[in-house]
Structure formats: C-alpha cells, structure tokens
Structure 1
Amino acid sequence: MIWALMCVALMGIWLARVGEMWSTLAQRTREEELLRNGHAIHVAIRGYVAADASGAYPREFDDLLADPRTSFARRFLRARYRDPMAEGNADWQVVRGPAGELYGVYSNAPGTPLKQDGFPDEYASFSLQKHYSEWKFVHYPSGSMMRR
C-alpha cells in the first residue's frame, strides 16, 4: 500500500514537471513567432516608406497588404500577422507618429520574456526587458528624436 502511494506521489511530481516543461516550450515557441511576425511588420513598414519618394508612412495595417498609393497591386505583407502572445481576439498595440502614421507594433501581453539576450543588433534593446510590451518593432523616421 505504501509503495502504491509512493508511486502515485512520484507520478504526480513527474507529471507536474512535464507540464512545466511543456508550458515553457510553448512560451518559447510563441516568443519566436512574436519575433518573426513583429520583424515582418517592421520590415514591411520600412519597405513601404522606402518605396515612395515622399517617404510617407502607412496609416493602417491594410496599407501594408495593398498599397493605396499605387494603381497596381503592391504588397509589403503577405497576410495580417497576429500577435501570438495575445489572448483571445486581442491584437497588436500600435506605435503611431504625431500625425497618426503607423510606425510600428508591440505586444501588450502580460508576462516576462524567457529570451533575454542573443537578439540581432536591430533588436538589441530587447535584451533584459521585463515585459513583452518593451519589445517594440518600430521604424522611426531617419534623424527622429523618437529613435532610441
């Protein structure tokens, strides 16, 4: 009888550990997707700005899916990438310029990122951040005082 109780206790401890490892793996996977999707949006905004001599920024996400400045189909994003850290129908939080331009996005998901270093130079500021909301995928105008 004692052996059975010990086996049940050990099984419970083992299952708790497996659950914790699975949760950590799932969070790492969502973080990788966050970095991939955020980078794609950042690159799309940069491409949108560079594609026109005026250097205009997009007003909305839809402008990245189909550039309204042209009469032909020009896309900077293949799809409207979602925020993988957001729960339910929550979407990206938006960083806007002074005139409402779309400068970038960030996740408003709660929690501390597992990834704390090893970011590309472009995202070096993500190192040692305490919240996902501090991972901002932004393309500021050249010479802007907003740039960090």
Structure 2
Amino acid sequence: MVRSYGQPEKTAKNEIGRQGGFTFLGLMFAVAIAGIALAGTGALWQLESRREKEKELLFIGEEYRHAIGSYYEKSPGAVKQFPEKLADLLQDKRFPNPTHHLRRLYRDPMTVDGEWELIRQQGRIMGVASRSADKPIKIAGFTAEQEGFDSAASYADWYFIYNGLP
C-alpha cells in the first residue's frame, strides 16, 4: 500500500462511516413514510368504526321502536299504554304469563355511558334517541319509519318513536 502524506488513508472503516449517514437518512425517511401511512390508516379505521356504530344505532333503535309498538298494541283492555320503563319491554307483567317484547336492553352505541334519551308522553316511554351530538355520516337511504333522519344535525335528532302506524 502506498501512502501519500496529506491525505487520509482509505480504509474499509472510513468508507462505512461515510455511508452510515446516508443509511440513517434513508431509515428516517422510511420511518416518516410509515408514520404518514399509519396516520391515514388510523383515520380510515376510525371512520369505518363510526359507520359500524351508526348501523348498530339504526338496528337497535328499530328494535326499541318495534318493542315499544308491541307493548302498546298488546295492551290489555280498551286503553292502550306505553311502558313506564325500558325494563317493562323485557318482561311485560300485565298478563298472567309475562310477555317479552325485547330480548335484552341495548346500550346506545354512540355514547360512552350507553344511556338513551327517553322520549316520553304523559310519563310513559314512546321512543328512544341517542344522546350523541356527533353529526351522522349517513344522510340518505332511510326507511319510511326513519323519515326526517336525512336532515338531522346530530344522532340525538334520530328519534325512534312508535307512532301507531304499520
């Protein structure tokens, strides 16, 4: 090996050291790209999760609407009544053999505490609504029973009320 004075000797160690900066820069760039991709995936996952909760809210709300309707229509005697509490839908004790209008009490999927806003008429429950102030994703394609849902400003404006119509 010929050595010239004034210039550093080229060794394998020096060459690796110079390339190490580029490797680190490339690694940092890859980490940044992965972070951006994960952030985008997280946003999509959050939107899809909210859509699923919205579908669940529509299903559960209709379950309550139909259960309240069943309770009302099966009222004994001439005067029809709505239930006093949601638990009355699980076991209707107005008959010798208790009737079940709903299998279980459902939680509001849009709120953390799962509590429903109870819509009352003369102290009795005629419907339920979510307590969520979030803006709905779905704005079209509702059933006739869900009339008005398309113009709702929040999920709290989706009223699942039994109105006596078939």
TM-score in same-fold range (> 0.5): yes
Structure 1 unmatched runs, 5+: 143-148
The 2-side partners of 1:47 and 1:135 are apart by 20
Is contact 2:51-2:137 (8 Å) kept?
A: yes
Instruction: Tell me which residue corresponds to 1:146.
Output: none
Q: How does 1:90-109 map to 2 (within 5 A)?
A: 90-97=114-121, 99-109=122-132
The 1-side partners of 2:114 and 2:160 are apart by 17
Instruction: Tell me which residue corresponds to 2:38.
Output: 15
Structure whose CA Rg is larger: 2
The 2-side partners of 1:119 and 1:103 are apart by 20
Instruction: Tell me which residue corresponds to 2:17.
Output: none
Instruction: Tell me which residue corresponds to 1:120.
Output: 143
* Matching residue within 43, 48, 52 for 1:29: 52
Deviations 1:28-87 (A, max 9, x none): 111111111110000011111111242111111111111121110201000011111110
- Secondary structure of the corresponding residue to residue 26 of structure 2: helix
Amino acid at match of 2:30: C
- Report how far residue 141 of structure 1 moved: 5.6
Structure 2 unmatched runs, 5+: 1-23
Deviations 1:102-125 (A, max 9, x none): 010001113111111111111021
Q: CA RMSD in A?
A: 1.4
State percent identity of aligned pairs.
33
Number of matched pairs: 140
Does 1:83 find its partner at 2:123?
no
- Secondary structure of the corresponding residue to residue 69 of structure 2: helix
- Secondary structure of the corresponding residue to residue 96 of structure 1: strand
TM-score for both structures, normalised by structure 1:
0.88
TM-score for both structures, normalised by structure 2:
0.79
The 2-side partners of 1:68 and 1:108 are apart by 29
Instruction: Tell me which residue corresponds to 1:58.
Output: 83
Structure 1 residues 90, 61: CA separation in 2 closer, same or farther (over 3 Å shift)? same
- Report how far residue 9 of structure 1 moved: 1.3
